[in-house]
Structure 1
Amino acid sequence: MTPRPLPRRVRVASLSALGAIVGGTAIADTASFLDPLGPIAEFQRVELIWAAIMIFVAIAPVFVGVPWIMWRYRRSNRNAGYAPGWGHDNRLEAVMWGVPVVIIIALGIWLTQATFRIDPYRKIDIEMARSFDFDLSGPPVAVETVGLDWKWLHLYPEEGIATVGGMVIPVDRPVSMRLTTDTVMQSYMAPGLAGQIYAMPGMVTELNFIADRVGRSISGNTQYNGPGFARQRAQVISVPGDEYLLWLAEARNAPPLDDAAYARLAKSGTLDDARAEFDRPGEGPLIFSLPDDRLFTRIVARYTSGEAVAHENQPGSPFYDAETARLPDLPAAMAAHGHHAPVPDGGICTAPEPYSVANLEDLAE
């Protein structure tokens, strides 16, 4: 259904908010978990600091002992003891081996517990908010992220929009992100908000995070994937809830990301190349409306048919043809169930869902 144009006053307010969001007015930049934008990155920063302190306990004697030994046993010091037959001391051996072993055991137990607390698959709920002492102002924002060469595509299936090269999220609302790629294996990381997570074609991984203040982080791909790797960066902008709603209202009036548009977007190229492809110059994220809320599912399904993807249909291939490449259709039964993103069976990359690509044929029957 084609959205109706917004009233002029609302459009003006939306454009103003959109300009402020994209332009970065009064928004602090942050690209590291050392200056976190949310509690997950804050927790990681604290863990790093304490881990560094504990590890320094093991290496501190080296920094202290080496200069002391060099000074005490210098050639001009005639008072230093000379013991050519010395070769072993039980007490010294116990300290040299005992302290590192205790540190490793302590770090192992402590960091294992911390890893479970901020498991990227763990949904952010009231219990977690109380544990980490942060606020929740609304339900999670569902974002489906697709890695392309060399740009990130973010789909908001519940909101009917898509962005390329950046995403906007509301403060104090969790973000439940599902990731895949339509090319080679990639690795998503927004260090100001959360840790790193891999994404692979035909599989789905998850990442959950939340921003507790207004700001801007920079996400990137930490897995080398070709000549445009260094430019595969995307802004993650957190804004107040009312500005987020204005941004959504305006974004829904953007040009649609239909099958033909996605085929063009999937061509290898950076965000600037995508802007040139669609003749949409400017700065900030490239925004589309999203007519098909199952686009993510269809991208995953491209690799789960049991047959090799033809070169001309494979994004990233030198033979890729955007004029003929199309995504597969989903079985009618799955569409009737309203399922957006099936997760194929595949070990640690499998997340619990009511349906998976493995049982598409059963659903179709």
Structure 2
Amino acid sequence: MKSRGIVGLVAAAVPAAAWPGIACAGSFLEPAGPIAAGQISHFGVISTLMLIVIVPMFVALPIVLLRYRRGGKGTYRPDWEFNWGLEALIWGVPVALAFALGTALWKHTLQHDPYRPLGPEPLLVEVVALDWKFLFLYPEQGVATLDLLALPENRPVTLKLTSGTVMQSFIIPSLAGQIYAMAGMQTQLNVLADKTGDLIGRNTQYNGLGFATQSFKTSVMSQEAFAAWVQTTKAQTAALDAAGYQTLLKPSVVSEPVLYGNFAPGLFDKVIASFSPGMAQGHAHAGMSASTSPHHEHDHMQEAGR
């Protein structure tokens, strides 16, 4: 893949000591899917274009200092005022560079729109951001997890996100860029993992004392292994009901991922509706009434814009 070649060139050109821990931390510099691969390709384009400004500056500066030093060969022209060539260079290069950068960003934004499906029959995963953990619901499989996102290799995945508390920022650097999860709203992120392995995802929006520890494991496995994982998870005795969700709402740090063999149907929609119960037939937090919902006083829109 072209972008993977860029990674190799960067790795060869920059000493490992200059960017310690990047690969281990799970970075877009080691893409595990087409979205992150597109991001590093875009990063390479931007870096190359910016070299048009940086390289001439570092080359010209010592030349000017040498030529126009006291006793240098530069001509002294105290009455010099204007030169068309210099004006064209000073204004033309930045304008052309801004146009090139804007065009590259425009094309990249359209190509990697987080709401754009990456293929037919995507796996649907509903994500609820909590303090300080992530809840993942698999409505098609009927299972749920806490701080563990299991994904099948080479299958498109649609993540629908919301928050049960404050606004948070969801990101899996090796798969895709960040997207916000907001209370009473729904955002969407489409990803595809093209190789198996364990990746790191986290919240990058500060949300309190446990912010630094709010990360989750993303496990990409083969199609067969994912099917076996679903069956194993279904066999778990733990179930996530309304009372269990209320417990998760309390701020806490999870040391190990938790698996739920089943969860209350429509939980994701009820979480959204709890912040604006009048917009969803009065549904409140996981079956709570609108009058007792801790968030019924908030006035939020139902859907978030792209």
> What is the TM-score normalised by the length of structure 2?
0.82
For residue 97 of structure 1, what is the aligned residue in structure 2?
Answer: 91
Q: Deviations over 1:331-356 (max 9, x none)?
A: xxxxxxxxxxxx9654615xxxxxxx
Does the C-alpha gap of structure 1 residues 74 and 287 become closer, same or farther in structure 2, counting only changes over 3 Å? same
Q: Deviations over 1:183-222 (max 9, x none)?
A: 0011111110011111110000000000011122211111
SS at 2:96 equivalent: helix
Could you say what the CA RMSD is over the residues aligned between the two structures, in angstroms? 2.2
CA distance in 2, matches of 1:144, 1:46: 29
Alignment of 1:1-365 (within 5 A): 31-75=26-70, 77-125=71-119, 139-254=121-236, 255-272=238-255, 283=256, 285-306=257-278, 327-328=286-287, 345-346=302-303, 348-349=305-306
SS at 2:109 equivalent: helix
Percent sequence identity over aligned pairs: 40
CA contact (8 A) 1:301 1:328 kept: no
CA distance in 2, matches of 1:264, 1:199: 20
Higher strand share: 2
Does the C-alpha gap of structure 1 residues 119 and 268 become closer, same or farther in structure 2, counting only changes over 3 Å? same
CA distance in 1, matches of 2:102, 2:245: 45
Does the C-alpha gap of structure 1 residues 190 and 225 become closer, same or farther in structure 2, counting only changes over 3 Å? same
For residue 313 of structure 1, what is the aligned residue in structure 2?
Answer: none
CA distance in 1, matches of 2:269, 2:59: 58
Q: Deviations over 1:258-288 (max 9, x none)?
A: 111111112101113xxxxxxxxxx4x2111
SS at 2:80 equivalent: coil
Does the C-alpha gap of structure 1 residues 152 and 345 become closer, same or farther in structure 2, counting only changes over 3 Å? closer
Q: Deviations over 1:266-321 (max 9, x none)?
A: 2101113xxxxxxxxxx4x21112232311011111011259xxxxxxxxxxxxxx
CA distance in 2, matches of 1:328, 1:87: 76
Number of residue pairs matched by the alignment: 269
CA contact (8 A) 1:187 1:196 kept: yes
For residue 18 of structure 2, what is the aligned residue in structure 1?
Answer: none
The code of the aligned residue for 2:305 comes to I
CA contact (8 A) 1:170 1:240 kept: yes
CA distance in 1, matches of 2:301, 2:233: 31
Does the C-alpha gap of structure 1 residues 63 and 229 become closer, same or farther in structure 2, counting only changes over 3 Å? same
CA distance in 2, matches of 1:170, 1:295: 23
Query: Tell me, which stretches of 5 or more residues in structure 2 are unaligned?
Result: 1-22, 290-299
CA contact (8 A) 2:35 2:112 kept: yes
Query: Tell me, which stretches of 5 or more residues in structure 1 are unaligned?
Result: 1-27, 127-138, 273-282, 308-324, 331-342, 350-365
Offset at residue 329 of structure 1 (A): 6.2
Q: Deviations over 1:114-139 (max 9, x none)?
A: 2111100011126xxxxxxxxxxxx3
CA distance in 2, matches of 1:288, 1:67: 65
CA distance in 1, matches of 2:112, 2:180: 16
The code of the aligned residue for 2:240 comes to L
CA contact (8 A) 1:144 1:296 kept: yes
CA contact (8 A) 1:187 1:223 kept: yes
CA contact (8 A) 2:144 2:263 kept: no
CA distance in 2, matches of 1:233, 1:224: 12
CA distance in 2, matches of 1:30, 1:250: 29
CA distance in 2, matches of 1:152, 1:286: 11
Does the C-alpha gap of structure 1 residues 37 and 271 become closer, same or farther in structure 2, counting only changes over 3 Å? same
SS at 1:271 equivalent: coil
SS at 1:146 equivalent: strand
SS at 1:220 equivalent: strand
Offset at residue 173 of structure 1 (A): 0.5
